[in-house]
Homo-oligomer: A and B are copies of this chain.
Amino acid sequence: MQLIDGKAVAAQMRKEIAEEVLRIRQSGGKIPHLAAVLVGHDGGSETYVANKVRTCEEVGFQSSLIRYEEDVTEEELLACVDRLNRDADIDGFIVQLPLPDHISEQKIIEAIDYRKDVDGFHPINVGRMSIGLPCYVSATPAGILELLRRYEIETKGKHCVVLGRSNIVGKPMAMLMMQKNYPGNCTVTVCHSRSENLKEMCLSADIIVVALGVPEFLKADMVKEGAVVIDVGTTRMPSSVTRSGYKLAGDVKFDEVSPKCSYITPVPGGVGPMTILSLMRNTLHAGKKSIYE
């Protein structure tokens, strides 16, 4: 069993991006600029956005944080999106989800100029990914592909089972793994809460991507010998041991599943650290205008 060290790969990517920013700086090019919009004071969102801003600094990007209180109106937020769309200095931006209930997340996402949509949530980016055209791929699936690539994991013709059908992980993951690419060219199965035959499916899988948000869902008797297991779960569980007062729980019963795997991602330190770096790479593409003019 080989542990997939997302932390190390993320560190390597951070280094590569920082080097490229240095080259851009030395040649007098435009330094990529990411803006993040944060509404309210949700603990998780605060942490994610702070990490994004810090990583921008580490790789040498410019970053801007725009904060609104919980009671911001949808209209105000749309006006903010519009300003960022028109601001030539901002190469890409994200609106941190979730948003308060009185604001339509979908409306906000669709208002973002797809050429600055470095989260890859806009329907145009989703559609282009499905068709196989250049686009911003959302960060979690992009991070998983990068792990498969860096560990040179064979995917062609393999059976990849994706557990979960969310718009930001399960569905894009499935679309990517079926494309005529590496990583890709898999037979892909998507299972979810309604699936009658989930266990049999998992048992026939060469690669399992678990993105259900159910701690310890995947157990040893659901995994065949030699499988690759990618754990996207990041449920926050209360903890009296950690400084933050919580710890992250994955969707895989790691202790019993890992001995059967050829490769497996831990939680934390697997998929998680890759997500922010995928966002950074999208921002680099945005700055260089290498996907859209």
Give every chain B residue within 8 A of A178 (Cβ-Cβ).
165, 171, 174, 190, 192
Cα-based distance from A157 to B196 in the complex (angstroms): 5
Contact B187 A187 (CB under 8 A): no
Copies in the complex: 2
Cα-based distance from A165 to B178 in the complex (angstroms): 8
Interface string of A114-151 (1 = CB under 8 A from B): 00000000111111101111000000000000000000
Pairs A-B, 4 closest by C-beta atoms = A127-B127, A123-B127, A126-B127, A157-B196
Contact B127 A157 (CB under 8 A): no
Give every chain B residue within 8 A of A167 (Cβ-Cβ).
130-132
Cα-based distance from A132 to B122 in the complex (angstroms): 13
- Say yes or no for A262: interface residue by CB 8 A criterion: no
Q: How far, in Å, is A184 (CB) from chain B's closest CB? A: 9
Cα-based distance from A128 to B167 in the complex (angstroms): 10
Cα-based distance from A201 to B127 in the complex (angstroms): 27
Contact B187 A191 (CB under 8 A): yes
Apart from A126-B127, A178-B190: 11 A-B pairs, beta carbons within 8 A: A127-B127, A131-B167, A157-B195, A157-B196, A158-B196, A159-B197, A178-B192, A185-B192, A186-B194, A188-B190, A189-B189
Contact A200 B204 (CB under 8 A): yes
Give every chain B residue within 8 A of A26 (Cβ-Cβ).
none
Interface string of A62-99 (1 = CB under 8 A from B): 00000000000000000000000000000000000000
Q: How far, in Å, is A51 (CB) from chain B's closest CB? A: 26
Q: How far, in Å, is A183 (CB) from chain B's closest CB? A: 13
- Say yes or no for A253: interface residue by CB 8 A criterion: no
Seen from chain A, the residues whose Cβ lies within 8 Å of a Cβ on chain B are: 106, 122-128, 130-133, 156-159, 165, 167, 171, 174-175, 178, 185-192, 194-198, 200-201, 204
Cα-based distance from A188 to B198 in the complex (angstroms): 11
Give every chain B residue within 8 A of A187 (Cβ-Cβ).
189-192, 194-198, 201
Cα-based distance from A189 to B197 in the complex (angstroms): 12
Contact B197 A130 (CB under 8 A): no
Which residue in B128, B165, B204 is a CB contact (below 8 Å) of A123? B128
Cα-based distance from A207 to B185 in the complex (angstroms): 22
Q: How far, in Å, is A167 (CB) from chain B's closest CB? A: 5
Give every chain B residue within 8 A of A127 (Cβ-Cβ).
122-128, 130
Contact B159 A194 (CB under 8 A): no
Cα-based distance from A133 to B110 in the complex (angstroms): 11
Contact B197 A204 (CB under 8 A): yes
* Most chain B C-beta atoms within 10 Å of own C-beta, residue among A122, A123, A156, A185: A123
Which residue in B123, B159, B190, B191 is a CB contact (below 8 Å) of A131? B123
Give every chain B residue within 8 A of A131 (Cβ-Cβ).
106, 123, 126, 167, 171
